[in-house]
Amino acid sequence: MPEFSYQVLAKCSQTKARVGTFSTPHGIVETPRFMPVGTLANVKTLTPMQLAATGAQMVLSNTYHLHLQPGESIVGGAGGLHSFMNWQKPILTDSGGFQVFSLSQMRKISEEGVIFRSPHGGEIINFTPEFSIQVQNILGADVIMAFDECPPYPATKEEIAAATNRTNRWLERCIVAHERPDQALFGIVQGGVHLDLRAAAAKSLAAYDLPGYAIGGVSVGEPPELIAKIVAATTPMLPEDKPRYLMGVGTYREMAQAIASGIDLFDCVIPTRLARHGAALVLGSRWNLKNAQFREDFTPLDATCPCYTCQNFTRAYLCHLVRSQEILAYTLLSIHNVTELISFTQKIRDSILKNRFTTDFQHWLTPQTEESLLGE
The catalytic residue positions are 94, 267
The end-to-end CA distance of the chain, in Å, is 43
Instruction: Identify whether 306 is preceded by a cis peptide bond (ω within 30 of 0).
Output: no
Secondary structure of residue 193 in the 3-state scheme: coil
Task: For residue 371, report the phi and psi dihedrals to the nearest 5 degrees.
Answer: -65, -45
Instruction: Identify whether 119 is preceded by a cis peptide bond (ω within 30 of 0).
Output: no
User: Residue type at 126?
Assistant: N
CA dihedral 301→43→93→68, nearest 10 degrees, is: 140
Whether the Cβ atoms of residue 248 and residue 214 lie closer than 8 Å to each other: no
User: What single DSSP character describes residue 293?
Assistant: G
User: What single DSSP character describes residue 294?
Assistant: G
Q: What residues contact residue 41 under an 8 Å CB cut-off, 6+ apart?
A: 61, 66, 75, 81, 84, 85
Q: Residue 204 region, left (φ>0) first, then alpha (ψ -120 to 50), else beta?
A: alpha
Question: Cα(161)–Cα(145) distance, rounded to whole angstroms?
Answer: 20
Instruction: Identify whether 129 is preceded by a cis peptide bond (ω within 30 of 0).
Output: no
SS3 string, 7-54, reads EEEEECCCCCCEEEEEEECCEEEEECEEEEECCCCCCCCCCHHHHHHC
Distances (CA, A) of 39 to 85, 182, 268, 280, 308: 11, 22, 11, 21, 23
